[in-house]
């Protein structure tokens, strides 16, 4: 059964079952999606940027980005349709993070894993070190 929540868009109460917004806001969002989709499907608009799509459709950039992140709009074939990485602001076309930020997070996780293993070995008293000075 759903949970009673306030719609993050309009503040009205609704039962959250499948969507994160109320029915009225969902319908408005679908209309926005249709506007954006119809605009970018035209061949003359294939090279439009996110800002140009926003200007032409009057759909907020964050909504267009949401559609892309949801996979409802695929940016393959739209060379200028970028949005910002959530960490550094670099332009990206998929996901939430750019390649460099993903790489940094991966390095950090690998370092943490190595540190945990080292600490576990120290606690067990089975830590071996190699003297590389020879």
Q: Is 97 left (phi over 0), alpha (psi -120 to 50) or beta?
A: beta
Distance, CA of 32 to CA of 63 (rounded, Å): 8
Work out the pLDDT band at 134, boundaries 50, 70, 90. low
**In the chain, what percentage of residues exceed pLDDT 70?**
92
**Residue 110 neighbours by CB under 8 Å, 6+ apart:** none
**Going by C-beta distance under 8 Å and a sequence separation of 6 or more, which residues neighbour residue 127?**
118, 121
131 band by pLDDT with thresholds 50, 70 and 90: low
Bridge partners for 83 per DSSP: 92
Distance set, CA 16 to CA 10, 20, 67, 115 (Å): 14, 6, 20, 42
| Beta-ladder partners of 5 | 14
């Amino acid at each position: 059964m759903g949970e009673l929540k306030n719609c993050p868009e309009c503040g009205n109460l609704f039962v959250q079952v499948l969507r994160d917004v109320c029915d009225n806001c969902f319908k408005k969002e679908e209309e926005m999606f249709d506007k954006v989709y119809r605009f970018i499907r035209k061949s003359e608009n294939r090279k439009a940027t996110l800002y140009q799509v926003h200007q032409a459709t009057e759909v907020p950039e964050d909504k267009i980005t949401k559609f892309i992140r949801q996979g409802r709009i695929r940016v393959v074939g739209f060379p200028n349709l970028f949005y910002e990485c959530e960490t550094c602001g670099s332009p990206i076309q998929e996901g939430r993070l750019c390649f460099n930020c993903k790489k940094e997070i991966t390095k950090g996780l690998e370092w943490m894993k190595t540190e945990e293993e080292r600490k576990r070995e120290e606690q067990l008293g089975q830590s071996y070190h190699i003297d590389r000075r020879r």
